[in-house]
Amino acid sequence: MSSFVARWSVLLLCLFALGGCSTIKGWFEIDDDEDPRAPVELEKIEQTVKAKRLWSTSVGDGQGKGLYRIEPVIGDGRIYAASADGEVKALDVTTGRKVWDVDLELPISGGVGLYNDSVFLGASDGFVIHLDASSGVVRWRAPVTGEVLAPPQGNGKVVVVQTYDGKLHGLDFATGERLWTYDSNMPVLTIRGTSTPILQGNRAIAGFSNGRVVGFDAATGSVEWEARVAIPQGRSEIERIVDVDGTMALAGNELFASSYQGYVVSIDVASGRKIWESPVSSVSGVSQGFGNVYAADEDGRVIAFLRTGQGQRWSQDALAWRGLGRPTPVSSYLAVADFEGYVHLLSQVDGSFVGRFRPDSDGVRADMLSDGNLLYVFGNSGKLQAYEISSTSR
């Protein structure tokens, strides 16, 4: 546990964009007995909701050793998943039966994007790969300027991909040819990760490590609007980290995003106008449901903000410093995974604990997926599992 605490306590595995981490070697020598950020021990809860495992399979080496969050994607009755060592699988979403699998012989670092019959992946050595969704056959591979840490997204005309060097690229959907590149002017210090771009019709939306969310014309890369989620403050570069990382949530024309040392915000995607904001420090992203917007704070609080912008509905503080991932609504509950691989089930009404299970003792970093009362969990070890979430009184 001490290794995790050290990493998490130094700004969630942040890396120097310049200069390397050797300059902060002494910061990692923390005595757990004196560390106020040591993960809390879990207490017993009354389980009124159960998680019944429906199927389980393995996908390569899972997240590998690169601290990736390679998330799967669901579409057309299948779930597509990839591992850090280059294995990609398409599975029947109901049974877990393999439809196809391929070995790309490339180190995968960005999760899976899906559009109609196309699957997209990002590689750590700076490639985007376009696969045929029905067979796994590679249609093209295209170079970009850096490591890809989030799923590329397509709309039939363009593929939008964000790289860790602070750039957003538009690639031709059919050929992979580079159409345009936007440079966000990456800060000196940044957290390891990027947001997942969103394509809405001909608009692309991306969050950057300078604390901004930007809307683009997806065809040309021209900027339509910018919205600030956080403003860098403080004297040191650490104090000025304001990354917009993790998954943003889109509901109609309303976009929800969060930043480290900043806010959770609601943005009108037609104009870029900020509708509301509330203080939060999060890098795992946001989700929405039940009239709430959910975020896991970096200190381990799970917070439900009223979607109307009228403040918090509830806050759950019993998971302090457990490295929480993005909260995922499933049925009338909220699932959130921690660094030890436990998935905690909370009531969406008041945030109380209703269940807990442990799908992967190696931890769960990738976003979980849900469909109705089904929850799909891709653990760090490569275990991909489907669970039915239901009340124990059934």
Q: Is 87 helix (H, G, I), strand (E, B) or coil?
A: strand
Of 310, 293, 290, 311, nearest to 302 by C-alpha is 293
pLDDT digits (tens, 9 = 90+) for 138-170: 999 999 999 999 999 999 999 999 999 999 999
Q: Please indicate, yes or no, if residue 105 is contained in any of the structural domains.
A: no
Global pTM exceeds 0.75: yes
Q: Please indicate, yes or no, if residue 326 is contained in any of the structural domains.
A: yes
Of 138, 146, 172, 111, nearest to 15 by C-alpha is 146
Distant-in-sequence, close-in-space partners of 394: CB < 8 Å, separation ≥ 6:
none
Task: Please answer whether residues 243 and 193 qualify as being in contact, where contact means their C-beta atoms are separated by less than 8 angstroms.
Answer: yes
pLDDT digits (tens, 9 = 90+) for 31-70: 556 688 899 999 999 999 999 999 999 999 999 998 899 9
pLDDT digits (tens, 9 = 90+) for 92-128: 999 999 999 999 999 999 999 999 999 999 999 999 9
Residue 27 has pLDDT above 70, yes or no: no
Residue 226: count of CB within 10 angstroms of its CB = 12
Q: Please indicate, yes or no, if residue 214 is contained in any of the structural domains.
A: yes
Residue 335 has pLDDT above 70, yes or no: yes
Q: Please indicate, yes or no, if residue 81 is contained in any of the structural domains.
A: no
d(CA 181, CA 153): 15
- Encoding tokens for residue 190? 């940044």
Pairing, β 383-391 against β 73-75: unpaired
Q: Please indicate, yes or no, if residue 114 is contained in any of the structural domains.
A: no
CATH number at residue 25: 2.130.10.10
- Encoding tokens for residue 279? 């203080």
Which residue range is the domain that position 308 belongs to? 2-66+137-391
Counting every residue written for the chain, the total comes to 394
Q: Please indicate, yes or no, if residue 257 is contained in any of the structural domains.
A: yes
| Burial group, residue 188, by CB count within 10 angstroms (0-12, 13-18, 19+) | exposed
Task: Tell me the average pLDDT of the chain.
Answer: 91
User: How confident is the model at residue 25, as a pLDDT?
Assistant: 35
Q: Please indicate, yes or no, if residue 75 is contained in any of the structural domains.
A: no
Total tally of structural domains belonging to the chain: 1
- What are the residues facing 82 on neighbouring strands? 88
Q: Please indicate, yes or no, if residue 296 is contained in any of the structural domains.
A: yes
What counts of helices (H) and strands (E) characterise the chain?
1, 34
